[in-house]
Amino acid sequence: MARQTRKTVDILADELGEDIGFHDVGSLRLAASDKCIADLDEMATDAARHDIPFQ
């Protein structure tokens, strides 16, 4: 969904012929338990599967 949204924003800007003020931003997640670590590992796997940068 994130990748498709990014593509759509680029298409919209091209069609309008102007900058629409979209800025890519990230997030920071902190794992406070073994369960949270496992969840982040799963997120990383899913992100890689969809070519979404994830560190």
pLDDT tens-place string over residues 1-55: 777 888 899 999 999 999 999 887 878 889 999 999 999 999 999 999 988 888 8
Question: What's 33's DSSP letter?
Answer: S
Q: Are 3 and 51 in contact (CB under 8 A)?
A: yes
Residue type, 35: K
The Cα–Cα gap between 5 and 37 comes to 27
Q: What is the pLDDT of residue 31?
A: 93
pTM: 0.53
What does the pLDDT read at residue 46?
Answer: 93
